Structure 1
Amino acid sequence: MLRAALPALALAFGIAVPGTAALAQKAEKPSLTLGVGGKPLLYYLPLTIAERKGYFKDEGLDVTINDFGGGAKSLQALIGGSIDVVTGAYEHTIRMQAKGQDIVSVIELGRFPGIVLVVRKDKAATYKSVADLKGAKIGVTAPGSSTNFFVDFLLAKQGLKPDDVSFIGVGGGASAVAQMKRGEIDAMANLDPVITKLESDGDVSVLADTRTEEGNQKIFGGTNPAAVLYLKRDFVTENPVTTQKLVNAFYRSLKWLATASPEDVAKVVPEDYLLGDRALYLAAVKASQPIYSRTGVIPESGMKNALNMLVEFDPELKSAKIDLSKTFDGRFVAKSAETIK
């Protein structure tokens, strides 16, 4: 009784209740499965915040999270129908449109990719720039993932092709750190806290860094949307209330992250995310704080930058007619912004 009366009481006294309108409606699919590729990565921190702070439960959702080895595997699971939604890279919505798959993002979680390309310190004299990477063994979270696309783009800008290097899937956690330390790869594109760990230990030199506005301007010419929540358009059409509730939960995460300190974040995430070094994790969070979206809205300029990046190295996209307006449905985040203060 009391729980049911809370929204009405809150409205009567002018108190903002997150997702009040959506809470009044029942989700068409209250139990669903979400895919992600490397959940401990700070790239996906808004997901962990939504999960750990109970934002999904507040919306009446029971979300099972499947953590895959990389974003490409999450996408495959979505296309195959074994999961319902994905927290993954925006680029996949563009690439799937070219393949005739109608995949749409509904909230931007990252406005910068946060991906960093590094080389082993003992190889820094050989690989002084991206142009020198021909023949190198390069670690990525998974082949076909956003980290892979990032390297493909940098190579293309230097006149190199993807097959001029060897890509090796290393994941996004302790295994990635270990493979770099063991000398199994020459270079790696990965994210925090992996990158900050390797930098702190003096194992790597940075070639390209997208964690800052300056870095993105230099590499892409502006913002480049990173992590988003994306779904099949059929799911959005058939489950609009469920979609709104998911967006509400993620929007609350972004609002929380906008004012949270690294210490606040460390208190919320699982202990194993700290990689055994709390101080290092705090440094990684601080380094990655600029990457998170402020509004949840993907700007048109960001969509264009993402497409331009993909066209640089993907022959299929050079000839494809891409309608960027179909890659992002902003109705849900606009509603979240109205109801969540």
Structure 2
Amino acid sequence: MKIRSLLLAASLLFPTLGAQAADVEKPDLTIGVGGKPLLYYLPLTLAERLGYFKDAGLTVEINDFGGGAKSLQALVGGSVDAVTGAYEHTIRMQQKKQDIRAVIDLGRYPGIVLAVRKSEADKIKSVADLKGKNIGVTAPGSSTHILVQYAFAKAGLKSDDASFIGVGGGASAVAAMQKGEIDAISHLDPVISKLEDMGLINVMIDTRTTEGTEKLFGGMNPAAVLYLKEDFIAANPKTVQALTNVFYRTLKWLEKATPEEVAAVVPQDYWLGDKDLYIKAFNASRQSYSTDGNIDEASMKSALNLLTTTDPKFDGASIDLSKTFDGSFLAKAKAQ
């Protein structure tokens, strides 16, 4: 199906959103992201490519940073208005007296995979065997890094028992494994599926699925969300509502789309040179996407536990989880 046909079908499904959303306080926006081609951030690319921002009266510039930690820094520094990034950042920043809140969940599972170089698989059979190794992550401090630290804590290792190397979000991550620069990698699709297809890795932990997520965390664990500063939300409620509408509309499209339709919408360079492989990667990650945009209390607590486990100095008792997610905009998006 061509993109034009996809857009027509989407407009029939949500015929009124564009007409009502032009009345916003800040129509020109900048959104930060840490590795846009990754399937972790697929809803952002779909919203952009399907024209949903334009339909909502928004002109959006997307700044792609090397990892989620860098996009968070950009939000705190004021160079972007919003971020599609890991939910855990809203918790971490609350302890730093930064009021940052998610307004819609995009990924209900992290979708992160920890894998080891196949040539090292006979030596690295468990997480504990990663001690002293070089591990590739999108960027130090990002969710791919934190997940490994959580696995380390469960295995009795310290967070600095390995060297963590930022390998970026796409072809650079594949190249790092090809060149032997890393012994293991904590990353996302399509990078993981590409490395699997090349026969370079053995998967150790897989949070793309319900089973893999529950095995690691003991329950669900929210991943990518749209988050903003609370003062921006308070000053621009119509803008935030328009953004929430866009992403909810995108989730509903994604829920029904075929893998072939998804591949047809994203830029071809996201395929990493192989459309069939991209489709395979999407199928592997499909369970990870949210279908309703909500974050329940159990999922919030799971994310908090991840942080308190990986950082013993983190004061979990001081966190008010109700201030990490504002569901009021989502409720209105669903009502429409």
Matches within 5 A, 1:1-341: 17=14, 20=17, 23=20, 26-318=23-315, 320-339=317-336
Distance between the aligned counterparts of 2:15 and 2:263, measured in 1?
Answer: 24
Measured after TM superposition, the shift of residue 255 of structure 1 is 0.3
Distance 1:19 1:323, change over 3 A: farther
Distance 1:63 1:135, change over 3 A: same
Structure 2 unaligned regions, length at least 5:
1-11
Measured after TM superposition, the shift of residue 316 of structure 1 is 2.9
Quick check: 1:93–1:104 contact (8 Å CA) kept in 2? yes
Aligned to 2:3: none
Distance between the aligned counterparts of 2:189 and 2:201, measured in 1?
Answer: 14
Identity of aligned residues (%): 66
Quick check: 1:22–1:244 contact (8 Å CA) kept in 2? no
Distance between the aligned counterparts of 1:25 and 1:271, measured in 2?
Answer: 31
Quick check: 1:113–1:225 contact (8 Å CA) kept in 2? yes
RMSD: 1.4
Quick check: 1:130–1:155 contact (8 Å CA) kept in 2? yes
Measured after TM superposition, the shift of residue 23 of structure 1 is 1.7
Aligned to 2:6: none
Deviations 1:306-334 (A, max 9, x none): 11111101123246511111000000111
Distance between the aligned counterparts of 1:197 and 1:218, measured in 2?
Answer: 24
Measured after TM superposition, the shift of residue 159 of structure 1 is 1.2
Task: Return the TM-score normalized by structure 2.
Answer: 0.94
If you compute each CA radius of gyration, which structure gives the higher value, 1 or 2? 1
Give the letter aligned to residue 246 of structure 2: A
Deviations 1:101-138 (A, max 9, x none): 10000000000000000000011111101011100100
Give the letter aligned to residue 88 of structure 1: G
Measured after TM superposition, the shift of residue 19 of structure 1 is 5.6
Measured after TM superposition, the shift of residue 96 of structure 1 is 0.2
Distance 1:21 1:45, change over 3 A: closer
Give the letter aligned to residue 43 of structure 2: P
Structure 1 unaligned regions, length at least 5:
1-14
> 108-117 vs 155-164, which deviates more?
155-164
Distance between the aligned counterparts of 1:26 and 1:335, measured in 2?
Answer: 16
Distance between the aligned counterparts of 1:24 and 1:60, measured in 2?
Answer: 6
Deviations 1:259-280 (A, max 9, x none): 1111000100001000001111
Distance 1:24 1:71, change over 3 A: closer
Quick check: 2:111–2:207 contact (8 Å CA) kept in 1? yes
Distance 1:83 1:137, change over 3 A: same
Distance between the aligned counterparts of 1:20 and 1:112, measured in 2?
Answer: 28
Secondary structure at the counterpart of residue 91 of structure 2: helix
Distance between the aligned counterparts of 1:24 and 1:227, measured in 2?
Answer: 24
Quick check: 2:21–2:56 contact (8 Å CA) kept in 1? no
Measured after TM superposition, the shift of residue 24 of structure 1 is 5.5
Task: Return the TM-score normalized by structure 1.
Answer: 0.93
Give the letter aligned to residue 302 of structure 2: N
Aligned to 1:10: none
Secondary structure at the counterpart of residue 102 of structure 2: strand
Quick check: 1:121–1:204 contact (8 Å CA) kept in 2? yes
